[in-house]
Amino acid sequence: MIKQTNNEAVQQPPRHVAIIMDGNGRWAKARKLPRSLGHKQGVEATKKAVRAAAELGVKYLTLFGFSSENWNRPAEEISDLMRLLRMYLRAETAELHRNNIKLQVIGNRQQLELDIVELIENAESLTAENDKITVTIALNYGGRNDILQAASQWAQMCQAHDITPDFTAAEEHFSGFLSTHGMPDPDILIRTSGEQRISNFLLWQCAYAELVFLPVLWPDFSKADMEFSIQEYMTRDRRFGSLETARG
């Protein structure tokens, strides 16, 4: 349960939680297990995180599932990851729908195999009208590429409508060209495994997100860790560059 405190900096609970799910390989190595088993246990942690976020009233949960740089990993590991993705989509889509959870995927799908793309499209179509929580999985995603594509689309729109580019207007409307359009920016970015970097994830969107770095490896991530992270967020003094505390 999320508890309020008397600290003046306390915020409302976050609407949007983003997570870099890190530590599957180290979890497996510590147990002298194959990395594939670490990723498998990581999928179970993902299911728990989705349930926990929904129970805690989070409206948007965005998970970094596979970065555009992850293609540099060994082919066998990539194959295992894609196999687990297929299993997750096949096994969980109906369950997500029954629980009124919307699922969507951002990132470049051109490198994904056709059957995976079809599973993604089926999940997105089936859950499109659900509104308890929106779960977004970033696959083959990179924050720099997201910004570059948005800038390109903005420039094309200006050219098509003979609009002189204006930086003030561009910043105001830029988020509408990002892959996360329609969602609020993350209030909090959680990274597990003890690493303290954002690894090209939601670079524009996380400009003012509160960062929480946890020592726990992703397969061990629990509802208690989600509650701790949200409680930590709620004690932060969010000013967004001003001198006054931002409320709500």
Write out the catalytic residue numbers. 22, 70
Helix residue ranges per DSSP H, 21-164: 24-30, 35-55, 75-98, 114-127, 143-160
Residues in the chain: 248
- For the beta carbon of residue 46, count every other beta carbon within 10 angstroms: 23
Angstrom distance (rounded) from CA 167 to CA 173: 10
Angstrom distance (rounded) from CA 83 to CA 119: 12
At residue 225, φ and ψ (nearest 5 deg) are -70, -40
**Alpha carbon separation from 73 to 8, 68, 206 (Å, rounded):** 46, 11, 26
- The set of residues, in sequence order, having a beta carbon less than 8 Å from that of 62 and lying 6+ positions away, is 16, 17, 18, 19, 135, 136, 137, 138, 180, 183, 186, 202
Helix (H), strand (E) at residue 105:
strand 101-106
CA angle 101, 80, 130 (to 5 degrees): 10
241 burial type by CB count under 10 A (0-12 exposed, 13-18 middle, 19+ buried): exposed
Amino acid at 120: I
